[in-house]
Structure 1
């Protein structure tokens, strides 16, 4: 764990502020090298389906398109922070368009995500924009049926297999009365846009072809996205604390991971693995995260989390307040 006790969140942010500047050229190029290939892959997949291409030809392209959709979602994420463009209107427009493609209402998700930024790693403010995480004490106090529900929720088959489809295809379609008018409106606009896309697809390529492409792309991209979100705040050595002890500097540096991926996957994920940098200063555009990290000795103090080491996090399901760490279900019997 990196020791940031002597530094406040403002101390950490000061040297990073030069990187919280938008670059129109880089932003535009990122749109070109992301959205153009994504739509190009859609065109190629439609052609291959119409010509009865074999599965082993189509499926790798589905995976590639899903990776581009992950990249689109992270650009969408930047727009929610107002960090992609200098213009608030431009961020909102691109955010909505990206939301149509990822089936995610822009303002609705923006609200929940900003709440997440103010509450992550805080044991007293769990529940908005994060994964369901219980303490050992809370888990032991549950009824057997509730324990089973929690175990199922934390099962990788559920939260990486069924969960993404349920979230992106179903739950984000509904308007919740407890949300504000702007959040509900964004959900309504996104739903209308999705209906229009499906209608146009039905009249052109056919609903069957559309679903054969859209559904697997969404499920694969959703699984990758949920995994990234999971590993950003659920890993061995992660920091959590109650409100009276919660420190934003510790939360940013020790409650968020530095997920070091191979360069090709870092490109597809827009360097979001540098998540501790993002949480220190969310206004840094994704296309400047790496250079920010490279220039900051303080950011480099965080230990990198490799892909293979990150897989161990799948067994960490509960926060043990006595040991101040995440533990497995199996550890309860030891």
Structure 2
């Protein structure tokens, strides 16, 4: 995998810069202002496409179940985009009116099976602890250092290897997170009634939708349309989250050395996707900019890269390169990069 460029590793084609992560964050403040007209257009186009494809898939069941499934799988990507809009609502960056933004997020949370208030709180915690090796567990993919892993017992190593396997991370985890864990305010069950209201209110609306579909046409639409759409959206969502922070030249530190701005900037990737996928994922691949300033709307992230060519070259990972990231599991504090289990084993052998 090509080495990702950090701020102090830019090629000579760019003007020399002394900018720190904090300097970059300050320079991006002007991009924080949402555009209401653009926001409504983005929401309308995405929601209309999602509903239309859902209806088409439902109608296609009578033609052939595989046609319905194929359309539902495609529609999963539009649900990813709706989740990205919900994500921006949680940051207060999607639209100017915060009250309206909150209600958009709550409504989309029913479609994405994600209670808005609970997820917003979880995600805020992710932003405040990203890359901190001592404060993992809420909204993070747990990452061990090489030394921590080598000190584990055989059983503990086995459990960690199973947890970090693609089957668990991208097979079981998405279904567990969106179907099961999201049904309760996991991690915040004693932090106020509002989070329970968010979870139970979302659950009630999801239940009403499922019951209505069953009443109208039985189990088939749920099995052939609803389920494939959710599986694709949840799997792609988890994959994107993984790639955004689990790449070779990422940034992890223990609490005493951890800096929130450095972790946000250097610990978040720039996932360069083909234009269609970039649109469907709402520019969330420009994640290093998002973590620098999470109040920048997704529809302005490309504008940031256009105006700041240096940012466009930092922490870049292509679609092809990203699949190699699934083999990286352990943070080497000496080389300051993620390693595979075999690379970590080779280090131990050569020591």
Short-chain TM bin: over 0.9
3, 7, 10: which is aligned to 2:7?
A: 3
Q: Are the aligned partners of 2:77 and 2:280 in contact in 1 as well (CA < 8 Å)? A: yes
Distance 1:208 1:258 in 2: 40
SS at match of 1:79: helix
Q: Are the aligned partners of 2:272 and 2:318 in contact in 1 as well (CA < 8 Å)? A: yes
2:317 maps to 1:313: no
Q: Are the aligned partners of 1:175 and 1:188 in contact in 2 as well (CA < 8 Å)? A: no
2:124 maps to 1:120: no
For the aligned residues, what is the CA RMSD? 1.7
Deviations 1:149-191, CA, capped at 9 Å, x for gaps: 2111111121111111111011111244344432222111111
2:174 maps to 1:164: yes
For residue 300 of structure 1, report the CA deviation from its aligned partner: 2.8
Runs of 4+ residues over 4 Å off in structure 1:
none
Deviations 1:115-157, CA, capped at 9 Å, x for gaps: 1111101122211111121112222233322222211111112
Q: Are the aligned partners of 2:268 and 2:315 in contact in 1 as well (CA < 8 Å)? A: no
139, 142, 159: which is aligned to 2:149?
A: 139
Structure 1 residues 57-206: aligned runs within 5 Å: 57-176=67-186, 177-206=189-218
For residue 298 of structure 1, report the CA deviation from its aligned partner: 4.2
Q: Are the aligned partners of 1:198 and 1:207 in contact in 2 as well (CA < 8 Å)? A: no
Distance 2:71 2:312 in 1: 36
Q: Are the aligned partners of 2:57 and 2:69 in contact in 1 as well (CA < 8 Å)? A: no
Normalised to the residue count of structure 2, the TM-score between the two structures is 0.90
Distance 1:244 1:221 in 2: 37
Q: Which moved more, 1:109-118 or 1:169-178?
A: 169-178
218, 233, 243: which is aligned to 2:255?
A: 243
Q: Are the aligned partners of 1:46 and 1:205 in contact in 2 as well (CA < 8 Å)? A: no
Deviations 1:62-117, CA, capped at 9 Å, x for gaps: 22100000000000100100100111111110101111001001111100100111
Structure 2 unmatched ranges of 5 or more: 9-16, 347-351
Distance 1:33 1:259 in 2: 24
Aligned equivalent of 2:11: none
For residue 9 of structure 1, report the CA deviation from its aligned partner: 4.2
Aligned residue pair count: 332
Aligned equivalent of 1:31: 43
Residues 17 and 333 of structure 1: CA distance in aligned 2, closer, same or farther (over 3 Å): closer
Distance 1:93 1:293 in 2: 30
For residue 301 of structure 1, report the CA deviation from its aligned partner: 4.2
Residues 40 and 137 of structure 1: CA distance in aligned 2, closer, same or farther (over 3 Å): same
Distance 1:181 1:9 in 2: 37
Q: Are the aligned partners of 1:103 and 1:190 in contact in 2 as well (CA < 8 Å)? A: yes
Residues 45 and 326 of structure 1: CA distance in aligned 2, closer, same or farther (over 3 Å): same
Structure 1 unmatched ranges of 5 or more: none
Deviations 1:223-264, CA, capped at 9 Å, x for gaps: 111010000000011111122222333223210000000000
For residue 207 of structure 1, report the CA deviation from its aligned partner: 3.0
